[in-house]
Amino acid sequence: MNPNAPLYVVFLLLHAASAVLGFGSVAIGGLYLPKLARKEEEGIAFFRQGRALSKVVIPLTLALGVTLMFLAGPNSNFYSHLWFQGAVTSYLIAYGLCLIGIWPKEALIRRALFDDEKIDAKTLVGIQKAIVGVELLVVVAFVLMVSQPG
């Protein structure tokens, strides 16, 4: 399918919007971490909430990306470009960091808040580093996909 076809463009816009929403919610969590560390009610309330939006939307971003690849077809010229491979790799590493470095630690934080236990400072530092890594990787993926260098 032609990348200018209306159906392709709709899925491309949905893919981009889900990436912004999903990874944006990860970034917002990083903004609330210092408030949680200072035991401010706003930070506590943010992490006390239920399921994180990013856990739903980031996998949707992956599904929409795969749909775009399916719509583009096996003979698409995207696959051979380094920008495409770099963007996909950056996204997959960012998703992996969410799976192993952010979401499990958020679950620990929620459990500690629910049980009224102390939150380990190492957990907060670890999640903050993972969030910074995810956001840097997502910026790389966006820049590569938008600019399509080479």
CB 10 within 8 A of CB 4: no
Rg (CA), the chain: 18
pLDDT for 129: 95
Residue 42 within any structural domain of the chain = yes
- Residue ranges making up the domain that contains 67: 6-147
Number of compact structural domains in the chain: 1
Distance CA 80, CA 94 (A): 22
Q: Sort 46 into a burial class: Cβ within 10 Å, 0-12 / 13-18 / 19+.
A: middle
Give residue-wise pLDDT tens across range 44-61.
999 888 667 899 999 999
Closest by CA to 15, choosing from 51, 68, 53, is 68
Does the predicted TM-score (pTM) go above 0.85?
A: yes
In a domain, 1, yes or no: no
Q: Give, for all 150 residues of the chain, the pLDDT tens digit.
A: 787 889 999 999 999 999 999 999 999 999 999 999 999 999 999 988 866 789 999 999 999 999 999 999 887 887 889 999 999 999 999 999 999 999 999 999 999 999 999 998 899 999 999 999 999 999 999 999 999 997
